[in-house]
Structure 1
Amino acid sequence: MTTTPHTMKAAVLHAIRDVRIEERPIPPVRPGHVRVRIRTVGVCGSDVHYFTHGRIGPFVVESPIILGHESMGVIEDIGEGVKHLQPGDRVTLEPGYPCRTCECCKSGRYNLCPEMTFMATPPVNGAFVEHLEWPADFVFRVPDSVSDDAAALIEPLAVGVWSVQRGGVKPGDAIVVYGAGPIGCTTLQAAKTAGATTLIAVDLEEYRLDLIRELGATHTINARHEDVLARIREITRRNLPESHSGADVVFETAGNLRTCQQSMLAARPGGVVVLVGLPPNPQVELDLVAAASREVDIRGIFRYANCYPAALRLVEEGRVNLDRMVTHRYPLDQAGEALSFADEFKHVSMKVMVDV
């Protein structure tokens, strides 16, 4: 496809498994915004879900939409009033911006803003494009030592950082991560930086367990072949009776019915369960008596708030490895193939990138 000086290529989802490369106008730059020449974008599980199902809960693809929200690029133009960025800066884009004036925003929980605008969530277009315009206060300069891939993957790391904050992970804690996918990997690494010393990962795929072990897991459990709860209790028993063994904090990142149920039992009495993944059916049967009688705190997370600066510092200081998570890449012209691969080959891949 040949574009004019005023147009760009975009990968547009028209229907389930129907991605087309189209010519779209290059967006102008509004005051307080910047325009970024996108370099690379990570394929997220939510992108794959829109690609394969056309919806996530109440968010339904009713008209053509551009997917992709884990992005980085180079600033090519700035709008009036932008002081902290300039053309040529390598940047990562936080994909959601709020109203900035509601109670949630003013209290620092802007991720709960009722007027949130979030990339690649219907009807908002995302980053599978050559040029993207975005509010400057949600665009962050990337240190020279941080690669393009890692800069794009600051987004899933922000999820991990927020999950660990919500879970209240402390030095010396034992944590369990259900699901050794990209969010499981970033959450486990974030927990390690917070001081957790026993880091247990649970998954069905040996490939992903091997990789998360490289990233810091001290123990891995293959749920196909092992009794997960028995292994967690064995690992965390310490000097306690078996009834009081379990993890201090359990992160459910798989979005699976069975792991949601099991996570309540994997936490020790007085422990915390953080629900990170979203199961396809929101009605999940849980043993609330077991959770309540053991005073297990159940906490949800929704995206993140004020996590990008911390996430960037963790990567810059070498305390989190995002580059190792990248396993496959496709050009923008093959964005549909990238989504298909990410859907069908989880057993041999971790993070698929689209190079723009």
Structure 2
Amino acid sequence: MASRTNSSFVLFSPQNVGFEDRPEPQISDPHEVLLRIKSTGICGSDVHYYNHGRIGKYEVRSPMVLGHESAGVVIKVGPKVTTVKIGDQVALEPGICCRYCVYCRKGIYNLCPKMQFAATPPFDGTLCDVYCLPEDFCHKLPDTLSLDEGAMAEPLSVAVHVMLKQASVKFGDQVVVFGAGPIGLLCCAVARAYGAGKIVAVDINEARLLFAKRYAATDVINATTTSKDATEAAAMISKKAHVQTGGADIVVDASGVESSIRAGIHIVKPGGTFVQAGMGRDDVNFPIAAMCSKELHVKGSFRYGPGDYECAIKLIETGKVDVASLITDIVPFEQAEDAFRGMSGGNSIKTVIRGPSMSTKMPSQA
């Protein structure tokens, strides 16, 4: 029998994309599940691969299916699957770890050296019709949530990992977040859900800041009006935002911009926590003296780990975090390239692409 085809949105080289009919995946392990993809959000990393073909050491050397923020419906299960059934709506956790290395056994599987992460070379992503995933990476969605909200569980899980695992945000904390993109906004939302007393969003995009103030921030600062000197910028931001008691308890940089990182270190109070959530250049000029003299807790944050997806889905289900408001555009599968161009221009906070099965017409194939 001929294998069924699987319509996929493929990146061939920077800004060179198209549609391919690929073979539909098959269950090869008794714990695997086949999913029909219904909603996929465009992530900043997807856009970066689209524009540049690489992020750090990860380079697109052969055609790669894009996308990893997805939700779908179970259409087939392996003989040993017990946690989901055909017809269930699930959010996809798009990184499969080895389960056996020291990092997996310590419960920090996001650091697994053998991680197979969707749409990170050389592994294909989820912008396709049918996708195969182990059952333990399929998170069942409550009936009250839409598949679009389910797709947003992925970026929210990133913010949960930043704010709860790395920053340990608590009631009454003063929090400053640099970068009002989706991850920065969701970090603000998680901080608010856990009772932070002050949440300051810093960016240079006035439209994003206006949205942040309506969404989850108590204060917003346009960084274009601050000094280029990191110490002076930090003092100005702290004064404008009325950050008290010697500085912020927590500073998160979700921008990856060197000037934000440097200012952020100066804004954190002695003994406070700085978390780097955004990836920028490989090397930056870093105020190490300020970090040492204030005995700061400086942490990186990478994707998500055990419990983060479950927490994210519960936050959405209970209304503690509103992810639907971040979705500014929903487009059919055949307009995926237009969606990537729009995201590249910064015209959308979050664009969701419908799965091929939800389109009224199939795209022309490459």
Q: TM-score, normalised by structure 1?
A: 0.94
**Post-superposition offset of 1:113:** 0.8
Q: Is the 8 A contact 2:192 2:216 kept in 1?
A: yes
Q: Is the 8 A contact 1:18 1:336 kept in 2?
A: no
Corresponding residue number in structure 2 for 1:221? 221
Corresponding residue number in structure 2 for 1:15? 13
Corresponding residue number in structure 2 for 1:161? 160
SS in 1 for 2:67: coil
CA distance in 2, matches of 1:164, 1:205: 23
Corresponding residue number in structure 2 for 1:298? 298
CA distance in 2, matches of 1:21, 1:29: 23
SS in 1 for 2:225: coil
SS in 1 for 2:170: coil
Corresponding residue number in structure 1 for 2:336? 335
Letter in 1 for 2:184: G
* Unpaired stretches in structure 2, ≥5 consecutive residues: 228-232, 356-366
Q: Check if 1:262 corresponds to 2:263.
A: yes
SS in 1 for 2:33: strand
CA distance in 1, matches of 2:51, 2:94: 22
Corresponding residue number in structure 1 for 2:238? 232
Q: TM-score, normalised by structure 2?
A: 0.91
Letter in 2 for 1:272: T
CA distance in 2, matches of 1:312, 1:87: 20
Corresponding residue number in structure 2 for 1:199? 199
* Unpaired stretches in structure 1, ≥5 consecutive residues: none
Letter in 1 for 2:86: P
* Structure 1 range deviating more: 121-130 or 207-216: 207-216
CA deviations over 1:276-330 (Å, ceiling 9, x no partner): 0001x21111110011111122100111102011110000000000000000122
CA deviations over 1:157-197 (Å, ceiling 9, x no partner): 00100001201211100001100000001111111122211
Corresponding residue number in structure 1 for 2:142? 143
SS in 1 for 2:195: coil
CA distance in 2, matches of 1:149, 1:188: 20
**Post-superposition offset of 1:207:** 1.3
Poorly superposed stretches of 4+, deviation over 3 Å = 233-238
Q: Is the 8 A contact 2:24 2:130 kept in 1?
A: yes
CA distance in 2, matches of 1:330, 1:155: 19
* Identical positions, percent: 38
CA distance in 2, matches of 1:232, 1:124: 43
CA distance in 2, matches of 1:226, 1:257: 14
Corresponding residue number in structure 2 for 1:54? 53
Corresponding residue number in structure 2 for 1:6? 4
SS in 2 for 1:353: strand
Q: Is the 8 A contact 1:85 1:141 kept in 2?
A: yes
Aligned length: 345
CA distance in 2, matches of 1:54, 1:92: 27
RMSD, aligned α-carbons: 1.4
CA distance in 1, matches of 2:257, 2:95: 25
Corresponding residue number in structure 1 for 2:309? 308
